[in-house]
Amino acid sequence: MDIAIIGAGVVGLATAWRTAARGAAVTLVDPAPASGASAVAAGMLTPVSELTYGEEPLLRLGLASRDRYGAFVAELEELTGLGTGYRTDGIIEVAFDSDDLRHLDDLRRFQESLGIPTEALNGRECRRLEPMLAPGVRGGLLAPEDGSIDPRRLAPALLAAAEKHGVRLVRRKAAALIVENDAAAGVRLDDGSEVRADKVLLAAGPWSGDLEGLPPGTVPPVRPVKGQVIRLRTRVPFLRRATRGLVKGSSVYLVPRADGEIVLGATQEEMGFDTRVTAGGLWELLRDARELLPGLTELEFAEVSAGLRPGSPDNAPVMGPTALPGLVLGTGHFRNGILLTPVSGDILAEVLLDGTVPEVGRPFTPDRLTETA
Nearer to ligand GLY, 19 or 243 (CB): 243
Burial 217-255 (b: 16+ CB within 10 A, else e): ebbbbbbbbbbbbbbbebeeebbebbbbbbbeebbbbbb
Instruction: In angstroms, give the least distance from the CB of 41 to ligand GLY.
Output: 7
φ/ψ of 176, rounded to 5, equals -155, 150
Q: Which residues pair with 176 in a beta bridge?
A: 188, 212
Nearer to ligand GLY, 36 or 227 (CB): 227
Closest CA to 345 of 81, 152, 69, 87: 69
Nearer to ligand GLY, 265 or 345 (CB): 265
Instruction: In angstroms, give the least distance from the CB of 260 to ligand GLY.
Output: 21
CA gap 294, 202 in Å, rounded: 44
Q: Confirm if 137 and 95 have CB atoms less than 8 A apart.
A: yes
**For binding to ligand GLY (CB under 6 A), which residues are involved?**
44, 50, 227, 265-266, 309, 335
CA gap 6, 174 in Å, rounded: 7
Nearer to ligand GLY, 140 or 265 (CB): 265
CA gap 277, 306 in Å, rounded: 6
Instruction: In angstroms, give the least distance from the CB of 242 to ligand GLY.
Output: 11
Nearer to ligand GLY, 44 or 329 (CB): 44
**Closest-approach residue to ligand GLY (CB):** 335
Instruction: In angstroms, give the least distance from the CB of 222 to ligand GLY.
Output: 14
Nearer to ligand GLY, 223 or 309 (CB): 309
φ/ψ of 264, rounded to 5, equals -115, 120
Instruction: In angstroms, give the least distance from the CB of 265 to ligand GLY.
Output: 5
Instruction: In angstroms, give the least distance from the CB of 46 to ligand GLY.
Output: 8
